[in-house]
Structures are given as structure tokens and as C-alpha cells.
Amino acid sequence: MIPTTRREFLRIGLVGSVASLTGRVDRAHAAARSLIVRSARPQDLETPVTSLVDEYTPNDVFFVRSHFGPPVIDAGTWNLHIEGLVQKPGDLSMDQLHKLRNTKAPAVLQCAGNGRALFRPKLAGAQWERGAVGHALWRGVRLSDVLEHVGVDAGARFVTFLPGDHPMAAAVPKFLRSIPIEKAREDVLLAWEMNGAPLSLLHGAPLRAVVPGWTGNHWVKWLRGLRISDREDPGFYMQTGYKFPAEPIPPGGKPAQVKTVTLMPVKSLIARPAEGARLGKGMQIIQGVAFGGKGPIKRLEVSLDDGATWNAANLDPMPSLGAWQRWRFRWQAQPGQYLLRARATDSSGEVQPREPQWNPGGYLYNAWDSVRCEVRS
């Protein structure tokens, strides 16, 4: 699950605590700040879940998902091309975008397939475990302001993001995603900055979509343009990919009807302790994050006994829709073996389920999170 074996984790933890006493944290810091390689080419890199403890996930441990390889785009000559049902089609330069009202928003970016490797039966696709998720402060321009600037026709119903990356081969469909115009006008950003730094190539430079509350497949990177139209894109990635059973199906089953993956379901993760950790008895902090697309998380509970009994954790408030909330639980740990669990409940009353909703694409895994640990006597 994490790049480290238990022994390595303990070593890092040990080095970290000794080093912090002496002020030499660099090596331990560097060792802990790695990404897990799910695919080297193109790069699919997972954040070790133990790194998900900050309000904003640092850029150097932020997970990377690439459908195809990143395109090298010359920011100097780059324009955002706008076409379709608009009054002023054409190109907007980065300078013109910067001149529109720009804004900052915190938002959770989670791959639709985060947790795919945890489904049984197993599924094809990037074998993400728990860490294809992160939280950043994004800066950019509101898509609603861009749409207002170009003047959208009355018949417009969808915005399709036109990406700059190229499929590996001519026969492979382009990665085209559409969102409804209502969502486009609600809270979507076109971002050039991530956690105060210019967007890096791996994260979508020069411009990417930020679609709060929705899965990462909508957060198109390396944007080259927008198509405004009366229908969603007819291609593979809208019509076949990123579909979820309309009604629950048994594991391994085939859905009769499907719907598009959009909102992230309610979810929490235990960042620490790490899987397989050996802890000393006494006060321990169990901590993590919780998020969901439907609304703020209202309750976070931790179980020390695989869900037999639950305890309320201390939960931060949600600063704005689409942000994550950190939580922590102070635990007077007694010696023994534990299967820790976390579950979140959102403002609509939706509770993180014990079992994931198995689906053929391996999307939207949100079962109770789970960490095994030992408390030594």
C-alpha cells in the first residue's frame, strides 16, 4: 500500500524522530517524500497515504495521473481556443485570462479510480490503492467569467475541455470530457497555479480545469481550448469510459444501465498511523482527511475494533465546498492488535459504507478506510 515495508517505515519514523531532535531532518524528509510508481510511462504516481496530513498536500508529494504523456506546450505562444455556441469564438491569451477576475479556491483532486486495486474481483486499469488524492489551493480564472466574456448562446448545454495531450496512437480516442453548463458556471476554475506555485508540466501546465467535488477525470490538464455545445462529446471517454452502474450490482456483475461518474461520494482516509505500524502504548493520534462532493462532512467516526463500536473524532469545518476536512482522534492505546476503521457522514446523511460498490471500471471506491496496527506492551 505504501512504498515502504513496515521495517522501512519504522526506520523512516525512527530517523525522523531522532533527526528532529538534532535538527537534521533532510534525509528522512527526502525518503518520506516519494511517490509510488503505478506506471512510469506515462506517469501515474500515487501519494503515500501517510503524506495526507496537511491542509494542502505539498506539490512534491501530490499524486500524478496522466492519460497520455504530457505535451510540451510553449506558454509564450499558447492560447485558449474557444469554439462552438458562443458569440465571440476565438483565442484568449494567458494575459487576457489574467486580466479577468482571478480567484483562489481550495479543492480536493481525486482520481475516479482511486482505490481500484482494493476491489475484488480485481480490475484492469491503474492499480491505485488509497493515495490518488490530494488537496490544493488553486488559483485561476472562473470558467463562468470566461463564458461571460465570450458570450454563450442560449442553446449551450455542455462545455467540453479540449486537451493538449495526444493519444499514444491514432486509433486511440482523444481524452475529451464534457461538463454540463450549469456546473461550468457554478464553481469551475481554469487554474495556472497550485499551492502558490506555477502549475507544473505533470500537473497540467499551462492551464488545467479544477472541478470542485467532481472526480479527477473532469479536471482536464494541458488545456488548449473549450468547445461550447448543445451535447456532450460523443467520444469514448464520455460515452463508454467513466461509467458507473445506475443500480448496485454484485461484484463481478454487469450493469444493465450506467450513469456518468461525476460527484465524489463521501469518503475518509486514515493517514496515520501507517498500515502495519507498531505503536507504543499510551496516547496516540489517529488522523486523516475526509471529503465528498455532495456537501460538508458532518461526522467522522473511528472504530478500534473493525466497526463493532465507533467513537467520534474531532473534525475540522469545511472552508468551502469541494475542500477536504482534516480529523484526528486521541487514543489511549492499550497493547494489542487493532484493525482501525474510519467512516465519514456528510450533510445529506450519506454514510461511508462498509463495502465498496463494485463496478467494472473500478471507480469511486469509498468503503470504510482500514489500517492494521499493533500496540506494544
Partner 1 sequence: MSPRILLAALLFLSAGCASRQAPPAPPEKPTAAAQPATPSAPVSQAPTPPPMPAAPPVPPAPPAPPSQPVSDEEGTIAQGEACLSCHSIELIEYTRIGEAGWKAELIKMRNWGALVEEAKIGPLAGWFAQHYPPDQAPPAPKVISAVDAAAAVAPERGARVIHGDKNAGAAEYAKDCASCHGAGAEGTGGGPVLIDAPVLYQPSRFATLITKGQGRMPAFSVLSRSDIDNLLTHLRSLR
- 372 interacts with partner 1 by CB under 8 A: yes
Our CB check for partner 1 shows the closer of 172 and 312 to be 172
Our CB check for partner 1 shows the closer of 77 and 332 to be 77
CB of 180 to partner 1, least distance (A): 28
Our CB check for partner 1 shows the closer of 94 and 100 to be 94
- 111 interacts with partner 1 by CB under 8 A: no
- Of 63, 142, 67, the residue nearest 110 (C-alpha): 63
- Among 38, 67, 135, 177, which residue interacts with partner 1 (rule: CB under 8 A)? 38
Site for partner 1 in 331-360 (CB under 8 A): 354-356, 358
- 3 interacts with partner 1 by CB under 8 A: yes
Give me the DSSP letters along 355-372. S----TT-------EEEE
**H or E element that contains 225:** strand 223-229
For residue 190, give the 3-state DSSP assignment.
strand
Grid coordinates 482520481 are at which residue?
A: 111
DSSP state letter for 152: B
- 302 interacts with partner 1 by CB under 8 A: no
- 127 interacts with partner 1 by CB under 8 A: yes
Pull the grid cell for residue 306: 473493525
- 301 interacts with partner 1 by CB under 8 A: no
Our CB check for partner 1 shows the closer of 45 and 176 to be 45
Only segment of 20-28, 119-127, 145-153, 180-188 that touches partner 1 (CB under 8 A): 119-127
Our CB check for partner 1 shows the closer of 123 and 238 to be 123
For residue 237, give the 3-state DSSP assignment.
helix
- Among 14, 18, 75, 168, which residue interacts with partner 1 (rule: CB under 8 A)? 168
- 16 interacts with partner 1 by CB under 8 A: no
- Measured CA to CA, the distance from residue 111 to residue 125 in angstroms comes to 12
Give me the DSSP letters along 260-316. E--BPPPEEEEEESPTTEEE-SEEEEEEEEEE-SSS-EEEEEEESBTTSS-EEPEEP
Distances (CA, A) of 178 to 114, 211, 236: 21, 11, 12
- Of 376, 310, 375, the residue nearest 341 (C-alpha): 310
Q: Binding pattern to partner 1, positions 183-222, x when CB under 8 A?
A: -----------------xxx--------------------
Q: In sequence order, what are the beta bridge partners of 344?
A: 300
- 34 interacts with partner 1 by CB under 8 A: yes
Using a 10 angstrom Cβ sphere, with 0-12 exposed, 13-18 middle and 19 or more buried, the burial of residue 285 is exposed
Given a contact cutoff of 8 angstroms between Cβ atoms, the answer to whether 258 and 305 are in contact is no
Only segment of 21-29, 147-155, 163-171, 259-267 that touches partner 1 (CB under 8 A): 163-171
CB of 31 to partner 1, least distance (A): 9
- 231 interacts with partner 1 by CB under 8 A: no
Residue 290 sits at φ, ψ, to 5 deg, of -145, 150
- 252 interacts with partner 1 by CB under 8 A: yes
Residues 6+ apart with CB under 8 A from 208: 190, 191, 199, 219, 220, 221, 222, 223
CB of 178 to partner 1, least distance (A): 21
Our CB check for partner 1 shows the closer of 213 and 241 to be 241
- 112 interacts with partner 1 by CB under 8 A: no
Q: In sequence order, what are the beta bridge partners of 331?
A: 284
Q: Regarding beta strands 325-333 and 282-291, do their DSSP bridges make them parallel or antiparallel, or are they unpaired?
A: antiparallel
CB of 63 to partner 1, least distance (A): 11
Q: In sequence order, what are the beta bridge partners of 279?
A: 375
Given a contact cutoff of 8 angstroms between Cβ atoms, the answer to whether 47 and 60 are in contact is no
CB of 370 to partner 1, least distance (A): 4
- 226 interacts with partner 1 by CB under 8 A: no
Q: Which residues bind partner 1 (CB under 8 A)?
A: 1-7, 30, 33-41, 43-45, 59-61, 64, 68-73, 117-124, 126-127, 129-130, 164-173, 200-202, 250-252, 275-276, 354-356, 358, 367-372
